[in-house]
């Protein structure tokens, strides 16, 4: 595997690959890789001639300076993992390489960014859209792979691909979980042992809500989840929403819905975690 730090060097490689008729798979990450990332990389290796992974902790999508500073950075370990799953190229640029001057671009995603993550993290999706656009232009992939854990981010990127006519296929894979249900996340590395024991309560809350969807009103389920998590030490619920699985708009009534998404965000200590679950209401 070749490690590349300069945009110009990667552009030259991508041009040669495309001229040679090679299909390129791309997995954008912020590093601190785990099995969720590796699932995407294996899929790319199976489905494409060449796989490129980026590791870049993007400063423009953090609205909390401390969160950016403390985000796990484990590049040496990441390189070893990437080699083990057949990644061909790692793009690991500096912030100055991606942003040679301050970005002043402004993206608007309408109602999609006015809820959940967009509402609680102002500017976050503008930063996501900016860096993803840059990476898509640099890497020029045929397929780009994302995980369902960041469900709203996937919806934002899907809208970005359509709006800017990126010639690529967006592929989304289900969330990979630990044995106790906790969604795998790079941020999990920041949890203390005690916090790690509490963190799976987010997934348990989603399971509880999913089981009650056909029996209780939406408002009652929201209240039940809030009350359950209020009892968990060191856990502070930021939001729990029952939303349309396509538009991600909150629902007050699920009658007539074929599928909904249960979305949750909470602080466990100072570590902010998110999770979600898609529920097909026509099954069972």
Same domain, 99 and 142: yes
Same domain, 166 and 82: yes
d(CA 199, CA 271): 10
Same domain, 45 and 110: yes
d(CA 85, CA 117): 31
Please, which residues have CB within 8 angstroms of residue 261's CB and are 6 or more apart in sequence? Answer: 151, 242, 243, 244, 245, 248, 276, 277, 278, 279
Domain, as residue range, for 246: 186-280
Q: Binding site: residue ranges?
A: 30-37, 61, 147-150, 153, 176, 184-187
User: pLDDT value at position 103?
Assistant: 87
Q: Binding site for (R)-pantoate: residue ranges?
A: 61, 153
CATH number at residue 161: 3.40.50.620
End-of-domain residue from the set 148, 173, 198:
173
User: pLDDT value at position 283?
Assistant: 76
Q: Binding site for ATP: residue ranges?
A: 30-37, 147-150, 176, 184-187
Same domain, 95 and 230: no
CATH number at residue 266: 3.30.1300.10
Say if strands 259-268 and 271-280 run parallel, antiparallel, or are unpaired: antiparallel
User: pLDDT value at position 203?
Assistant: 98
Same domain, 151 and 257: no
Which residue numbers in the chain have pLDDT < 70?
A: 284
Same domain, 166 and 197: no
Q: Considering the entire predicted model, what is its pTM?
A: 0.96
User: pLDDT value at position 284?
Assistant: 57
Q: Check if the beta carbon of residue 165 is closer than 8 Å to that of residue 251.
A: no
179 in a domain, yes or no?
no
178 in a domain, yes or no?
no
180 in a domain, yes or no?
no
d(CA 243, CA 263): 8
3-state secondary structure 48-92: CCEEEEEECCCHHHCCCHHHHHHCCCCHHHHHHHHHHCCCCEEEC
17 in a domain, yes or no?
yes
User: pLDDT value at position 214?
Assistant: 87
List the catalytic residues: 37
Same domain, 212 and 264: yes
60 in a domain, yes or no?
yes
End-of-domain residue from the set 146, 173, 200:
173
Same domain, 16 and 89: yes
Q: At what angle do helices 218-230 and 201-212 cross, to 10 degrees?
A: 160
Which one-letter DSSP state was computed for residue 19?
H
Same domain, 7 and 147: yes
Q: How many domains does the chain contain in total?
A: 2
């Amino acid at each position: 595997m070749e490690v590349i730090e300069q945009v110009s060097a990667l552009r030259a490689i991508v041009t040669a690959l495309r001229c040679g008729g090679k299909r390129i798979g791309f997995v954008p990450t912020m590093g601190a890789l785990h099995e969720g990332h590796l699932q995407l990389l294996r899929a790319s290796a199976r489905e494409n001639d060449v796989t490129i992974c980026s590791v870049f902790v993007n400063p423009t999508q953090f609205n909390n300076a401390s969160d950016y500073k403390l985000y796990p950075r484990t590049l040496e370990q990441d390189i070893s993992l990437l080699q083990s799953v057949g990644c061909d190229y790692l793009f690991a640029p500096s912030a100055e390489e991606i942003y040679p001057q301050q970005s002043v671009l402004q993206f608007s995603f309408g109602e999609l960014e006015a809820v959940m993550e967009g509402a609680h993290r102002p500017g976050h999706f503008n930063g996501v859209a900016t860096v993803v656009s840059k990476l898509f232009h640099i890497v020029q992939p045929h397929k780009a792979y994302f995980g369902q854990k960041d469900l709203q981010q996937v919806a934002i990127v899907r809208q970005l691909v359509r709006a800017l006519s990126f010639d690529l296929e967006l592929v989304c894979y289900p969330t990979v979980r630990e044995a106790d249900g906790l969604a795998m996340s790079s941020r999990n590395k920041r949890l203390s042992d005690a916090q790690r024991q509490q963190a799976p309560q987010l997934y348990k809350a989603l399971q509880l809500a999913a089981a009650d969807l056909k029996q209780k009103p939406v408002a009652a389920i929201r209240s039940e989840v809030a009350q359950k998590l209020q009892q968990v030490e060191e856990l502070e619920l930021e939001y729990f929403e029952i939303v349309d699985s396509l538009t991600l708009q909150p629902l007050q009534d699920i009658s007539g819905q074929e599928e909904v998404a249960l979305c949750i965000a909470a602080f466990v200590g100072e570590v902010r975690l998110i999770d979600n679950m898609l529920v097909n209401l026509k099954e069972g």
